[in-house]
Amino acid sequence: MSAATCDAVVVGAGPAGLAAAGTLTARGHSVLLVDEAPVPGGRLRAQWYRLGSAVWDGRAEVRRLVEGVGAGATWRLGTAVHAVSGTSDEGFAVDLGAEVVRARTVLLATGATEVPLAMPGWTLPGVLAVGAAQTLWRGWHMAPGRRGVIVGINPLGFAVAQELADAGLASLAVVMPPPGLATAHLGSVGEQWDRLLALAAGAPPWAKPVAGLLHGRPGWRRAAMRWFPAQGIRVAGARLQLTRQALALEGADRVEAVRLQRLDAGGEPVGAPWREAVDFVLLAGGLRPLGELLGQVGAAMGHYEGLGGDVPLVTTRLATSRPGVFAAGNTLGIESARVAMAQGGLAGLGMAAHLGDEPPEDAWQRARGAMAAARRQVPFTFQPGLMQARAQHRQDSAREVGP
């Protein structure tokens, strides 16, 4: 088995990993970038959505970040990391299967994965996670079908619906997920409605003041839901049907129909279920951080629902409790790609400092300012309770890991 050495290994070539690698190479450090995908960019490659009159083009952002990495990095794409071991003093060993790379510092920027939304019929061909559908379209320009439904309500689902609608490729309805243990992490119907109202920035202009008025007011929300159109309202290129709940997906060789149930203003089922024909279904169960490698290296972790689940405790330089191991991006909690890029830049400075290359104070100020600005500019949050969870995470991190 061959061996190589470098200053830093960056695991994950998404927005956080690319930004960190660019920061390190700009300061003259040797970096190995590893990602199991055959191309860099992670989920950022598939992102394309409108922010008012502007467009966020993930592919363009990836190109910019890759150019920033420059020639100072070695790439290992299409490569999985099997294990990370060692210490800061003796050097870390990163097992890539065919080779073991030794480095003085490691960034784990492994991102997030979709939470499965299990329901009857979910294994039928033609049923995909919303992220898979986005990759299918953005990566291969293929639509999953012509008439579909999104089961579950989250920003990623609306982004995919908007893309497919803009391309004239599909007509989608967005309905509530089924009840049961498999969807308990999404909360009650009422909690999901409130979460949607918190995404008022993505609502049609006429609906924004209404959403702001109803958010956090269950009584007012129930009154408004009595008048919600059965056929739904147009939002982000989809028909949002808050009073319809998917119970099961049906079909022989592939998905052919979704069984739906009407909900009353309180979120309770009313009337008899019925079937509607579809040729594809997208499941939107949300995202959770991928922190398995952090657990493997023994980094201190904490559980925060508002951040998406288990995340590492880190210093303000994004160093974990294991000296020399850093974390950034969705590994630290589900936030936007802009935040992930800013975190990557900050982590890159922290790794440089760990290598004995202490950045000047103005570099730290710019990095922290970029992260604060990225958080101010996001049009919505992916997780309910994000702000409170972030504050608790900072408090716990300062106590357990340090400032």
The domain locations on the chain are: 2-113+287-400, 116-283
Q: Residue 55's Cα: distance from chain center in Å? A: 19
Query: Largest Cα–Cα distance of the chain, in whole Å?
Result: 68
Quick one: pLDDT at residue 239?
84
Residue labelled with tokens 């991102």: 111
- In this predicted structure, what is the pLDDT of residue 222? 63
The token pair at 329 is 């991006």
- Mapping DSSP to helix (H, G, I), strand (E, B) and coil, where does residue 301 land? strand
List, for residues 363-393, the tens digit of each pLDDT value: 999 999 999 999 887 766 666 678 899 999 9
Residue entry with tokens 């003259």: 28
Positions in the chain short of pLDDT 50: 1-2, 201-214
Those residues with Cβ within 8 angstroms of residue 308's Cβ, 6 or more apart along the chain or in another chain: 112, 286, 287, 288, 289, 330, 333, 334, 382, 383
Q: How far apart are CA 280 and CA 344, in angstroms?
A: 36
Domains 2-113+287-400 and 116-283 share a fold: yes
3-state helix, strand, coil in the chain (%, to 5): 35, 30, 35
H helices within 92-239, ranges in order?
Answer: 130-140, 155-166, 189-197, 208-214, 218-225
DSSP string, 75-87: EEET----EEEEE
Q: Whose CA is closest to 218, among 200, 243, 191?
A: 191
147 alpha carbon, distance to own chain's centre: 26
Give domain 2-113+287-400's CATH number out of 3.50.50.60, 3.30.70.60, 3.40.50.300, 3.30.540.10: 3.50.50.60
Whether the Cβ atoms of residue 158 and residue 380 lie closer than 8 Å to each other: no
Closest CA to 245 of 264, 228, 229: 264
Looking at residue 206, what is its pLDDT?
A: 37
Give the integer Cα–Cα distance in Å for 403 and 397.
Answer: 8
**For the domain with range 116-283, which CATH number is right: 3.40.50.2300, 3.40.47.10, 3.40.50.300, 3.50.50.60?**
3.50.50.60
